[in-house]
Amino acid sequence: MAEQTTIAETAVPVVIPRRLDPEDAQLALQELQAILKRQEVVDALAQRQHESEDEDGSNLLEGMLQRQHEDEIRQIVNTLHPADIAFILESLPVQQRQAVWQLVSQEHDADVLLEVEDWVRESLIASMDHEDLIAATGAMDADEIADLAPDLPPDVISEVQKGLTDAERAQLVAAMGYPEDTVGAIMDFDMVRVREDVTLEVVLRYLRRLHELPDHTDQIFVVDRDDQLRGTLSLSRLLLSEPDTLVNAVMEPDVLSLNPMDPDIDAANAFERYDLVSAPVVDEQGRLIGRVTIDEVVDVLQEDSHEQELSRAGLQEEDIFAPVLAALRNRAPWLLVNLCTASIASLVASRFEETVSHIVILAFLMSIVAGIGGNSGNQTMTMIIRAMATGRVTGANIAQLVKRELQVTFLVGACGSLVAATFAWVISDSYAVAGVMMAAMVGNMLIGAALGVLIPLLRDRFGKDPAVGSSVLLTFATDSLGFFLFLGLATLFLL
């Protein structure tokens, strides 16, 4: 007991950070929503009292409750990781988002701005005054400032540049000059480099003088006097080798290096293929100018996945709480295209009115033919778009891909058409209808598979995003041609 008392008396208060758990963010979001809801009730009651001119003590009570709610919000958000704060801000309507953002501690501003999605960041920056923006961006590295530069006011960027060293200012200008979606736009400049003609003991002494290693440092870059990249030295090799060993004796000379103008998705694919944690970035002269780390690559892969999901539906990323008119501008164009294509498909079906009027059961069966063709094509198209994104589709293997997909689809269609034909025979009691159903289904599935390959390839050939609206175009083709094929065969063989 005495020992416990001594420990308690000499203990230093420690701030225990909140556990990094996505469920924490979910619970915090629910708590904040409950607090904000209570504040809305208070504001509504205060408004009623104001309108009835019965304000005896109401302003004082309202102020007390508002301060209480604000304190509760601060206690919740400021114990969270910046990524969790970003998640909460993205999950709140604009007005509530701004209210919570004003209560986030300034020490988190920089990290949160880097974590939130672009469509949220713009509104957060717009709500901050000049001094707060300077304070937030002043704590960032050059590559991080470059990430925010498109959303920052020009006067803030100019002010921040004044506080940078010449080297940092040059890095910022260089980073801002690289196009979006390139390696240069995601690389950072914080890395460790050493010469190849020094011993490992010298390298260790150098590392000990640093306050900390840059994040995701798994290797040290070896350069010559002109900053030409000569190789890499892994930390494990550094620690396990004899201290008097020269760097060039244990370094790895064969290094995967990136060019700043390479597409960032190519870098992400290289990280995935070779299980990298970091990779050097060199210019045209072979000089080391930066590095790409796994955290940036994860962001690239996630963003690319989200863009593909939205693009297939003809959408761009938007704030889920954006004004109705903004959402309308995003969603309406491809929906109107879809409406036009559906109208064309209906027009095709209407040309066979006489056939359908004689054999009414066809009206119930033709949607199956169109739907299965679209689903088959979407399977093929999803695989092709993914293969294109990873660079596996080339001009030399396009014909082979089309042939393979047609073969696979024919076999799948042959099996599935037997089921469909049986169903058609059961409800129509006609072997002829079942045969037409079987032939039309296989034919439309083959059409869907061929178009699932060709539509993305053609869009890419003309410089368009292969994923944007491809499903809409595919549905139009399989619906129209499916109706035409099924009703055309029915006209030929059933009338």
- CA quadruple 98, 101, 102, 106: dihedral sign: negative
Q: Are both 466 and 383 inside the same structural domain?
A: yes
In a domain, 332, yes or no: yes
Q: Are both 109 and 206 inside the same structural domain?
A: no
210's tokens: 């640093």
Q: What is the CATH number of the domain that holds 337?
A: 1.10.357.20
Q: Are both 283 and 356 inside the same structural domain?
A: no
> What is the model's pTM?
0.70
Q: Are both 348 and 475 inside the same structural domain?
A: yes
More confident residue, 395 or 215: 215
What's at 217, amino acid-wise?
T
Residue range 113-126: average pLDDT?
89
Q: Are both 222 and 308 inside the same structural domain?
A: yes
- Which pLDDT does position 63 carry in this prediction? 74
Q: Give the whole-number percent of the chain exceeding pLDDT 90.
A: 40
Q: Per mean pLDDT, which range of 70-79, 247-256, 318-327, 397-406 is the poorest? A: 318-327
- Which pLDDT does position 52 carry in this prediction? 58
What one-character DSSP code corresponds to residue 195? E
- Which pLDDT does position 346 carry in this prediction? 85
Q: What is the CATH number of the domain that holds 223?
A: 3.10.580.10
Residue 101, pLDDT > 90, answer yes
In a domain, 55, yes or no: yes
- Which pLDDT does position 466 carry in this prediction? 80
Contact 62, 44 (CB under 8 A): no
Q: What is the CATH number of the domain that holds 80?
A: 1.25.60.10
| Averaged pLDDT score across all residues of the chain | 85
Q: Are both 168 and 301 inside the same structural domain?
A: no
Q: Per mean pLDDT, which range of 55-69, 294-308, 386-400 is the poorest? A: 55-69
Beta-carbon count within 10 A of 339 CB: 11
Of 150, 400, 87, whose CA–CA distance to 392 is shortest?
400
Q: Domain ends where: 135, 154, 181?
A: 181
Buried b / exposed e along 447-483 (16+ C-beta atoms within 10 A)? bbbbbbbbbbbebbeeeeebbbbbbbbbbbbbbbbbb
Residue range 133-162: average pLDDT?
87
More confident residue, 225 or 466: 225
- Which pLDDT does position 392 carry in this prediction? 78
User: Mutual orientation of helices 324-350 and 470-494 as an angle, nearest 10°?
Assistant: 20
Contact 271, 300 (CB under 8 A): no
Count up the domains in the chain and report the number. 3
Residue range 314-324: average pLDDT?
67
Q: Are both 165 and 199 inside the same structural domain?
A: no
- pLDDT digits 0-9 by tens, 169-191: 888 888 888 998 899 999 999 99
Q: Name the range with the highest mean pLDDT among 50-64, 283-297, 458-472.
A: 283-297
In a domain, 6, yes or no: no
pLDDT band at 252 (very low <50, low <70, confident <90, very high): very high
d(CA 428, CA 435): 12
In a domain, 12, yes or no: no
Q: Give the whole-number percent of the chain exceeding pLDDT 70.
A: 89
Is residue 317 helix, strand or coil? coil
- CA quadruple 158, 163, 166, 167: dihedral sign: negative
Q: Domain ends where: 289, 312, 335?
A: 312
d(CA 58, CA 45): 9
Beta-carbon count within 10 A of 23 CB: 8
Q: Are both 103 and 143 inside the same structural domain?
A: yes
If you write DSSP's letter for every residue of 446-464 in order, what string do you get?
HHHHHHHHHHHHHHHHTTS
**Which range of residues forms the domain containing residue 214?**
193-312
